[in-house]
Amino acid sequence: MNGTRATSEPSVRVERCDVCIVGAGIAGINALFVASCYLSRSQKVILVDRRGRSGGMWVDTYAYVRLHQPHGLFTAGNIKWTLGQDRAYLATKSEVLAHFEHCLEVVRQRVQVDEYFGWELESHDESDGVVRITCHSSDGHLMIVEAKRLIKASGFGIVPNDPLEISSSRVTSVSPDYCDMRGEEIGASDAPVWIVGGGKTAMDTAHTLITHYPGREVNLVAGSGTYFSNRDRLFPAGARRWWGGTLVTGIFVEMGRRFDGTNEIDVATWMRDTYGTWLTPTTGNYLLGVLSEAENKTIAAGLNEVIMDHVVDAVDRNGETDLMFRSGLSRTIQPGSWIVNCTGYVLKGDKPYEPYVSEGGAVLSVQPRSATLHLTSYTGYFLTHLLFLDKLRDLPLYELDALDLRKKSNAVFPYAVGSLTMHNLSLMLDSVPNKVLLDCGLDLDHWYPLPRRMIGTMQFMLTHRRGRDHLRDTLDIVRERFDVRCGPVIHS
């Protein structure tokens, strides 16, 4: 007797919207804000994120992290914070996440937003004016989204750091993302701490340990060293906002004028000495991080030792535990020591290339393999405006494979990105309404009083075209010198 076997397969839901945004971090929330400026209340945005809530990397990052810049300058569009703190206050992780929720609530008053948290992009296809997006949920369900536009706001794609793999059984290897430096476990120990890394995470970790456990031995293995933008110079306090400091746009203009694609050492020396602060004897890295003089002095005074090398392992031998370095040197350390992995988060891994704009012009991709600006938050804001103004595909912006360049030359990377940013902003200024600039709450120049800011803005708007050829020539030299993708998008 022939029979039939009943099968039960989950149905595929189909949703339709005007815009689908994948990614609810700072880039995606800025894209969402901009989209809400062009859509009506009856139109719909679908927001997809693999995490359980908005916030992007801030959902996963270590518990004691604080913003680099004053909190009001980290937002979506022109949405104001409701924190009620002094303008110079550096917001905590929970406060930043709360602001993400506030931004979503503001946008929901303008446009319909359907949120799909716990869903991940699988693929997309663009044809006949429609982008068909396939997503799957954490429990295996499928969803097809049909949208007029897709914004893939994966940003830097930052993921938590794992502890370093260490051979020794006599030390404790952790990372800030899985071990709060203020927690009971590390607080109950008085063993020395060895921080591995020299960037902002290492500074946050060192500052937290030094201030929470006065007198405890804290050491830093800082690699090739790092310098930071001096917060006191970028964001002077009180009345000094009227006459002190330098507007960040002015710094970028000068950096772009000085860098010619070959003289990164000279530009680094000028930038570090004029606007920087550092505690390591060498400063081979700069990734736009910000540190104050007070933070720097606290860390420098509290560190037991700074070693300019790279950790490769910790091994037990001859009854001792040795920390092994890339140089071939080693250092005997106390059994029970803590090794904290604070190596960099940004521009890691090997993501595939994707142009920032698709051939059909309906898909915007915000990620570092086709970077157009220095930060993905700015990219989400400005390029979404260009997308809705139907100018994104035709404007000859330069894209830079930032991931590839960072691997090939740490020294050139920040100054090439600065030139890229100023070149592309110059093109954008000729293509978007002035209101786009005025409503960009991410603009660090907003720290300064309006009269001073407006003078700087007018100077830039009147002069930005003069340096465009130099910036383009600089980027062309970088492309040839390092064999990196750097130029206008070329579609197949």
- Over 90: is that where the pLDDT of 157 sits? no
- Over 90: is that where the pLDDT of 346 sits? no
Q: What is the mean pLDDT of the chain?
A: 93
- Over 80: is that where the pLDDT of 11 sits? no
* CATH architecture of residue range(s) 13-158+348-395+431-447: 3-Layer(bba) Sandwich (3.50)
CA distance 364 to 362: 7
Please list the residue range(s) of the chain that carry CATH number 3.50.50.60.
13-158+348-395+431-447, 172-227+278-341
- Over 70: is that where the pLDDT of 4 sits? no
φ and ψ of 68, to 5 deg: -70, -45
Percentage of the chain exceeding pLDDT 70: 97
| pLDDT per position as a tens digit, 234-290 | 999 999 999 999 999 999 999 999 999 999 999 999 999 999 999 999 999 998 899
Q: Output the pLDDT for position 9.
A: 53
Q: Which of these ranges, 200-214, 324-338, 350-364, 457-471, has the smallest mean pLDDT?
A: 457-471
Q: 293: closest CA among 347, 351, 355, 229?
A: 229
Confidence band, pLDDT 50/70/90 cuts, at residue 1: very low
CATH topology of domain 172-227+278-341: FAD/NAD(P)-binding domain (3.50.50)
- Over 50: is that where the pLDDT of 3 sits? no
Query: Stretch 206-211: mean pLDDT, rounded?
Result: 97
Q: Output the pLDDT for position 159.
A: 82
3-state secondary structure the chain: CCCCCCCCCCCCEEEEEEEEEECCCHHHHHHHHHHHHHCCCCCEEEEEECCCCCCCHHHHCCCCCECCCCHHHCCCCCCCCCCCCCCCCCCEHHHHHHHHHHHHHHHHCCCEEEEEECEEEEEEEEECCEEEEEEEECCCCEEEEEEEEEEECCCCCCCCCCCCCCCCCCCEEECCCCCCCCCHHHHCCCCCEEEECCCHHHHHHHHHHHHHCCCCCEEEECCCCECEEEHHHHCCCHHHHHCCCCCHHHHHHHHHHHCCCCCHHHHHHHHHHHHEECCCCCCCECCCCEECHHHHHHHHHHCCEEECCCEEEEEEECCEEEEEECCCCEEEECCCCEEEECCCCCCCCCCCCCCCECCCCCEEECCHHHECCCCHHHHHHHHHHHHHCCCCCCCCCCEECHHHHHHHCCCCHHHHHHHHHHHHHHHHHCCCCHHHHHCCCCCHHHHCCHHHHHHHHHHHHHHHHHHHHHHHHHHHHHHHHHCCCEECCCCC
- Over 90: is that where the pLDDT of 49 sits? yes
Place of tokens 């704009």: 357
Confidence band, pLDDT 50/70/90 cuts, at residue 10: low
Q: Output the pLDDT for position 463.
A: 85
